[in-house]
Structure 1
């Protein structure tokens, strides 16, 4: 491929910016442009130049922040009590509270009940998170941010204005809004009786991180806050990384203890399990989980947490080693092909099919 013509690219970006500005000024055009279904169709075209321009605008300019703010406003009107009903989980002095925000995101409060100290994970909507803090009667000590996308990081600075001593943790290479404490792979974060370990898991973004809450010292399971790396029966789109990079990040999750609880960043369970049925229709564990999810979602109930053991049974993105999955995808390892590279090829094909299937 020849080097890009930067003058043409600049004109293209400028043109898109102009169109976006016109859309913001024109009510009729604006309404159709910001339609989420249309936006998601554009987002699905990950290999197209226009997508790359749109993604850059979303992640690196005020236009992305404006889009995020509009989505927050719309979600508050559409889901005044949240898109799902979520139950908190309390075990041995630690309380985990899922907070439904936007149209399908989850933020989390992790509370040290003895000291009434709380940590927020990916506080996308600062107003909703602040309301939860007040309802629980706890103080916000820190924010753990998995990655830079506004639907995970958009509330960082707003909450810091309300809680000036609050620390914001995140990747040193992911341009996290309001970041005060940059992290590297396997760094520890100790806040009262809450002990987290951060893992560098690039692929969805260049600096994506996940956070493992150690529950063993308190006699309970660990909890993984996975952001957009891994969901119930799914994984995040590879916006800023290769399949090999994403595979390494997913292997980090697979190596955790089986009883680890998975708290993902989105409510994608229904779509993900339906896609999993396309590639592994005879997976009994998937079918059993799907029937449970159907019951949960019929009542708009949260489907988290699952466990790492469960995910390894039915999540195709954690099963790139499976001969059954290889056959379903009609993929075979070449005689001279490295096993890891073959698994990355399997993962890439899975992600390609998922992108076409639902655009997530």
Structure 2
């Protein structure tokens, strides 16, 4: 069983360290800022062996170069993984391995599947640790939300969300930001009769009042409450007056509403 450390980097970015006690391998997923990552490594006494990048946005990669410099000073040489499709806008000279969609690699005797999840960006990938069922979704599937469509189309994002929705219910979803409060405020406007959502909104409100994190979450909870995963349900379609519309049209509408919210 792998160990997971979740902590903030920058104002509302989450960083993750995944550690295998047996092999001592430790992966960092996305690098918004190097200092909190180094502090967390020191806190646990872990040495960094791997870095997995999900997409090219600055708040997920800007800490990479200084983190690698700090690792070199400690005698560490972590392998850096990133999407082959994003090499033209990533610091490619720092990337050890360019990954293709549906490719698999091994981490600490576990299989990691590279998932193609365009929408937020064209080259966005997610990492699914198969045996422990841990998903690092960054800005594709988020807690009670999904990423804004900066580059991709609604069709791409909807397809990406359906791909992620098909993972096991008990998958641990490690997303990229603490956006749950604002996502909850919106979700209730497009799924107001959802009792599971009402309960979750209360839980999020209580946690954020105490400055507690609301991620990671379980995929089953997202399936039950995240309106972007529920665009094909009668409850959401009815709430947005699109009961006879296609699933894609409903998703497109609620994504547009969230952009204006």
In structure 1, distance between residues paired with 2:95 and 2:57:
13
Alignment check: 8 A CA contact 1:156 1:168 kept: no
CA drift of 1:208 comes to: 0.1
1:138 lines up with 2:138 in the alignment: no
User: What residue is the counterpart of 1:82 in the other structure?
Assistant: none
Within a 5 Å distance, the mapping from 1:84-103 to structure 2 comes to 92=1, 94-103=2-11
1:317 lines up with 2:208 in the alignment: no
CA drift of 1:314 comes to: 0.7
User: What do residues 304-350 of structure 1 show as CA deviations (whole Å, max 9, x unaligned)?
Assistant: 2211111111100001111121121122446xxxxxxx222111111
In structure 1, distance between residues paired with 2:12 and 2:148:
16
1:163 lines up with 2:71 in the alignment: yes
Q: Which sections of structure 1, spanning at least 5 residues, go unmatched?
A: 1-91, 216-220, 335-341
2:96 aligned to 180, 205, 223, which one?
180
In structure 2, distance between residues paired with 1:238 and 1:179:
26
Aligned residues: 253
The 3-state SS of whatever aligns with 1:119 is: strand
User: What residue is the counterpart of 2:256 in the other structure?
Assistant: 352
The 3-state SS of whatever aligns with 1:97 is: strand
User: What residue is the counterpart of 2:193 in the other structure?
Assistant: 282
In structure 2, distance between residues paired with 1:191 and 1:160:
19
Alignment check: 8 A CA contact 2:193 2:235 kept: no
Alignment check: 8 A CA contact 1:201 1:208 kept: yes
| Bigger proportion of residues as helix | 1
Within a 5 Å distance, the mapping from 1:233-312 to structure 2 comes to 233-312=144-223
In structure 1, distance between residues paired with 2:31 and 2:109:
21
Q: Which runs of 4+ in 1 moved over 6 A?
A: none
Alignment check: 8 A CA contact 1:105 1:267 kept: yes
In structure 1, distance between residues paired with 2:11 and 2:120:
20
Specify whether residues 120 and 194 from structure 1 end up closer, same or farther in structure 2 by C-alpha distance, changes over 3 A only.
Answer: farther
User: What residue is the counterpart of 1:108 in the other structure?
Assistant: 16
The answer to which structure, 1 or 2, has the higher relative contact order (CA under 8 A, 6+ apart) is 2
What TM-score do the two structures reach when normalised by structure 1?
0.68
What TM-score do the two structures reach when normalised by structure 2?
0.93
Greater radius of gyration (CA):
1
CA drift of 1:194 comes to: 4.1
User: What residue is the counterpart of 1:223 in the other structure?
Assistant: 134
User: What do residues 95-133 of structure 1 show as CA deviations (whole Å, max 9, x unaligned)?
Assistant: 100120111110100011123221000121111101111
Within a 5 Å distance, the mapping from 1:188-199 to structure 2 comes to 188-199=104-115
The 3-state SS of whatever aligns with 1:108 is: strand
User: What residue is the counterpart of 1:328 in the other structure?
Assistant: 239
